[in-house]
Chain A
Amino acid sequence: MPNTYTLIASNTVGSGGVASVTFSSIPATYTDLLVKFSIRTSNSNVGQGLKVTYNGASAYVNRFLEGTGAAVSSGNGTDEFIGDIPGNTATASTFGNGELYMPNYTSSVAKSILIDAVTENNATTAYQTLTAQSYAITSAITSMSFASMGSGSPTLMQYTSFYLYGIKNS
C-alpha cells in the first residue's frame, strides 16, 4: 500500500494554449506514478480524446468503458487514446479532470495503467471514461506526454494543468 506522495513536477498551461505537455527525465526513485490533470481543449466538440505517450513510443492495448450521459459503451484499441476531456463547447469555464495511475513504472515487464477521466458539462451529454491500458515496454518509464487527439488539431487551453506525483511503497 503506497504511503508517500511526492510532487515530482507540475505544469499549468499559459495564454494561447499548447499542443502538448511532456514530463521528461522522470526519476526512477519511486514505486508508482500518479498524474492528476484538469483539462479543457479548443475543439468544438463537447467530448474530446486525450492521448498519452510514454517514452516517445506507442505499443498499447486499451480496454475502456465509456458513459455519454445517455448511453454506455465499451471498446478496445491500440492507439494512445485514454479518455474524454471537454472541448470548447462544454459549459463555459469548466475543465474536465481525471487521473492516470501507473504502478511499478521501473519494472522490466509490461506496464499496466489505469486512467479515469470526465468531461464536466452542465448538459445531458457528458463523457466519463475508465480505461485499462497495457504498455508492452520492458524499460523504466522516463517520459510521459499528454495531448488532445481531437479533430481540428486542438490545443490544451490556458489553465489546463498536470501534476505528476511519485509514490513509494515503503
Chain B
Amino acid sequence: MTTPIAIEVNCATGEVIERPLTAEEITQREADATAAAARKAEEDAKAASDAVAKDALLTKLGITADEAKLLLA
C-alpha cells in the first residue's frame, strides 16, 4: 500500500514540500477515520429516528407535513 502524501506550503519562502506521512501521522489518521465513522453513524441513526417519530406524529394528528408547517408558521 502506498504511503499517503502530505503537502507543506511554507508561507515565508513559497517552498512546497511533498512528503510521505510519518508513522505518527498515519496512526492519527486511522484514529480520525474510526472516530468519524462512529460520529457519522450516530448522526445518521438520530436523523432516521427523528424522521420516523415525525411521521408517526403526523399520522397520529391526521395531518400532512405541509399542514403541520402551516400550523407552525
Contacts and interface: CB of A to CB of B under 8 A. Distances in A.
Interface residues on B, range: 20 to 34
B42 to A, nearest CB: 10
B5 A153 contact: no
Interface residues of A, number: 38
A26 interface: yes
Contacts, number: 91
B9 A49 contact: no
B64 to A, nearest CB: 16
Contact of A70 (B18, B33, B51): B51
A20 B6 contact: yes
Given A19-B5, A19-B21, A68-B47, A25 B36 contact: no
B22 to A, nearest CB: 11
A85 to B, nearest CB: 12
**Max chain B CB contacts within 10 Å: which of A8, A13, A20?**
A20
A139 B32 CA distance: 26
A9 B14 contact: yes
A48 B39 CA distance: 11
Given A70-B47, A73-B47, A153 B29 contact: yes
B9 A9 contact: yes
Given A153-B29, A155-B4, 14 more contacts: A10-B9, A13-B7, A18-B5, A18-B6, A18-B7, A18-B18, A20-B25, A48-B36, A49-B32, A81-B39, A149-B36, A150-B33, A151-B36, A164-B11
